[in-house]
Structure 1
């Protein structure tokens, strides 16, 4: 809805000690996520002439798998629901993380802050991923994915840049989620049909990674997405340790592309001979939208490559990028 502001409150409750009760409606866990949507009081929003445009408050209590356990009408009711669902403890450690998304003409701002925090905690500057750390922060990841699914109905109002940032971050977050669901493992290929598993519901559709990459992102006429989305493998582009945002997208995509092309473990470039990542073979047509593959490479390479350069491809490692 136009002029709708969504405040997403992710509440993590950790049971520190005490006795536990078994709740049949949810798996045993020490953490749960409450997602709250309401209009922030400190943000000015244009008044709507239509009563149907007014924001109503809704609270969902969600378990570790992202499944809604109960919906209530206020944050206080959410806390009460969590207390009823969780074990009674003598000491509860409560930490709160606030982020909000303001959907006016430019949906931007804090939408991807939660994912940004996770990436900075668990991904090195070299793109090495601490999946054990992500596993320990799994509720945060589930909370972020839940935020994305809540915002999915608003996508038609997003700009192209906002949609690209949304789906790039979604692909990377869902890939991490897939790895965590099957961790420990040595390769994403240890998982049966990893790119075809429909584990995440956006609107009325259960999405898989193949759909997001091939049916959504590749149809947005932006070949540099291939250096932003990461398949959790050594020969993939490195996972950036900052979330993509619409306001920084051009710079982020350019940097990711330059970084990948100049990485000698991925590509070996000289004027007359190039040995490339197989990404350039698998998605060759995506890089020929405005000229040849060499033309594309020369936009981002420090080496000027001859149009007659001999071309070959490097072996691709599917070892986990940890």
Structure 2
């Protein structure tokens, strides 16, 4: 696959093509280099258009995960994974090295801390994060981001003009596969991401509202929420077929 220069290929296209190259196991260097050499003018729509930003940063995160798993697998396998894997630069955008943590928390989550169950702001945001972060948090990103764990959702390549429909599909698919509802016991068991980012979903009421919206629990149900264990087994290449 030929990589076009940034003048002929949008940042969103480059990020998508990098992710597709990761999926196919073909060369990624040209795409990564093109993303690194973008300038502020090239990234204008990433900065100003919500759909473009969502698709771009989701694809960057998921491609960055695959690149790290391939190039530096020991970071993931380390007992200090949370520090070593998520804080190591995964790819460079516009001359700025970005870790998975910075893409997720500084940009996609709009500058929220990974601590505090989603209720706390990020204490230190870089100028790049302040310039490019999304102004509002879409909790569906948690069903699209893949950090290499077996419990993570499958990866798909996101498109700006279809990102909302794609996120709906990703959300429904992941919830159908991971959530169980015990009507008799009044209990719903959900992935641990709902605990780690409880505030992103609007607390317990927001989680139940989302589960009703996607038909996981009945419209009149208000079950107790239990959280499943997370399987951190390294699972690269978990793409949607």
TM-score range, shorter chain: 0.7 to 0.9
Q: Secondary structure of 1:144's partner?
A: helix
Equivalent residue in structure 2 for 1:236, among 152, 159, 163: 152
Give the TM-score normalised by the residue count of structure 2.
0.73
Q: How does 1:223-262 map to 2 (within 5 A)?
A: 223-240=139-156, 243-262=157-176
Larger Rg: 1
Match of 1:197 in 2: 88
Equivalent residue in structure 2 for 1:301, among 210, 215, 224: 215
Higher helix share: 2
Match of 1:157 in 2: 45
Do 1:165 and 1:244's aligned partners in 2 also have CA atoms closer than 8 Å?
A: yes
Output the CA distance in 2 between the equivalents of 1:38 and 1:172.
21
Output the CA distance in 2 between the equivalents of 1:309 and 1:38.
50
The structure showing larger relative contact order (alpha-carbon pairs under 8 Å, at least 6 residues apart) is 2
How far the C-alpha of 1:287 sits from its partner, in A, is 0.9
Output the CA distance in 1 between the equivalents of 2:76 and 2:193.
17
Structure 2, unaligned runs of 5 or more: 111-133, 237-241
Structure 1, unaligned runs of 5 or more: 1-7, 11-35, 40-99, 122-133
The one-character-per-residue Cα deviations of 1:138-173 (angstroms, maximum 9, x if unpaired) are xx2232222322335222333111011111000011
How many pairs does the alignment contain?
A: 203
Output the CA distance in 1 between the equivalents of 2:174 and 2:37.
33
Do 1:270 and 1:304's aligned partners in 2 also have CA atoms closer than 8 Å?
A: no
1:101 aligns with 2:5: no
Higher strand share: 1
Match of 1:285 in 2: 199
Q: Secondary structure of 1:275's partner?
A: strand
Assess, with a 3 A threshold, how the Cα gap between structure 1 residues 38 and 260 changes in structure 2: closer, same or farther.
Answer: closer
1:37 aligns with 2:2: no
How far the C-alpha of 1:255 sits from its partner, in A, is 0.3
Output the CA distance in 1 between the equivalents of 2:29 and 2:228.
36
Match of 1:87 in 2: none
Assess, with a 3 A threshold, how the Cα gap between structure 1 residues 234 and 249 changes in structure 2: closer, same or farther.
Answer: same
How far the C-alpha of 1:223 sits from its partner, in A, is 0.8
Query: Cα RMSD between the aligned structures?
Result: 2.9
